[in-house]
Structure 1
Amino acid sequence: MYALVRRSSAIAAALAALISGCGDDNHPTAPDGPSLLQIGSAADSPVEVTLYSEQSPTIGYARLTIGLRDADTGTIIDDAQVVLTPMMHMQHDDGSTMSHSAPQEAVIAGGDSLFTTATIFIMSGMWEMNVAFETESHSGTLSLDVEVGPGSHVQAISVGDERFFVTLIEPRSPRVGPNDLELCVHRRASMMSFPAVTDLDIDMDVSMPSMNHGSSGNVAPVAAAATDGHYHGTVNFTMTGDWHVDLALGESGEELLTTGFDMTVQ
């Protein structure tokens, strides 16, 4: 069973106790901050790794937090280089196997002696999350199995011999009125490499098919930074119900692909 912890300025002090009791749901928790869900842990003396998520992982953009500690002393490890590599191992009916990775963002040192990153899970099933670490005294790789549920926030589109993944990050809970819109786009270069696509032009059309109308005040997403493949805009919903956001992605002045997302506004 997953275990809940709380992020706050006190989490570094509490993390050792949280990890050491990973089989017990009655963990002590810090009183403030958004909840994090423990989704896996692994240890190989002297390092223990614990992986947290904001919610149970589903197909889509998963913000992840990594905690490291010395398994022998309980000391939090906050000075380390960390790389996360997700792997999906698939077995076909004929007994053959195939493995592939997924779009993965860099791991950065966050607050509270933790490390933050994001994985774009492109299919459901059991993923092997390989956490490679290097400290002043230790290096190695630990693997954690994470179950990923179904979801509708990733669109996979083939364009000729290429495969693109368009991921809806925000809004996660669409509401009436203007909503921040965030997408990320990746191109599959190989089964192990999914680089971000950073130079797209995106046109957007917002409609409510059941009512045969759209909305005003929408802002098509534009690149947020030169390297991360994220695009930010605004989508405006004028009433509750089922909406559709159509997207046309262009590259070098030519249309590359079209896709879209259904959103239910509460």
Structure 2
Amino acid sequence: MATLNIWNKSGPWPARAALIRKQLAALAPDVLGLQEVLRLDEPAPDAESCQAVELCEGLGFELAFAPAMHYGAGLSFGNALASRHPIIEEAHFALPGADPGEARVLLYALVGTPHGLLPVFVTHLNWKLHHGSVRLLQVRFIVDKIFELCPVDESRLPPVLMGDFNAGPESDEIRYLSGHATVEGKSVYFADAWLHGGDGPGYTFDRKNRFAALAHEPPRRIDYVFVRGPDRGFRGEPLETRLAFAESEPHPEGELWPSDHFGVVTEIAATRREQ
């Protein structure tokens, strides 16, 4: 499972797209969540009209897309999911609390893996540093939607939630998700894959990346893979987690990175075991 905010078409997009494709082919995830994806509304989106198609074409993925904002002339901005396994169903839900011009969305897809049905959710929360209250509202909506669509049912794999949360692990919104904070008498637990299998701080927005440095923000871990698990058979347990899309190459305009964010990739247990 992997996630990446692709930074729309900012910066040297053709070169970035080629680098993302190169690293995606090497990574070969079963499921990939993408944020900040641009798409022109076409009956059959292709590499010219949809960034997700451009990045994944020929690599063996099925695609789902959820528009968050519509810019006019058929252009939309949102989240995408790429899967090497069949996408059985998909839906999307507008997140609450967004400012005009900063709408956000939750993408849901049910993926038919060889180990069972896997519910996957891809999201992208408000970005402003002072919008913690908005992100907390959005996270609570997401949690409620996950439990609505995925009641505890061990005939399915535990649901996965991933994306750009624009919030560090110490924030109320992430502490609520990871079981370290109670909000209005309610608490939940989703396993933060980085804490289970990652090494070091895991910064996904880091000033060593020259594209991230443009924001003049401190390094932060703001991109996540969460699992509502493991279940009693230990399915859904994060096993190994690392940064992805985090290698640069020389470029005439300066060091080339795939995006302004680094991605996250994690291996999740999909088969039952005794212990």
**TM class, shorter-chain normalised?**
under 0.3
| Larger relative contact order (CA 8 Å, sep ≥ 6) | 2
Report the structure, 1 or 2, having the larger strand content: 1
Report the structure, 1 or 2, having the larger helix content: 2
Bigger Cα Rg: 1
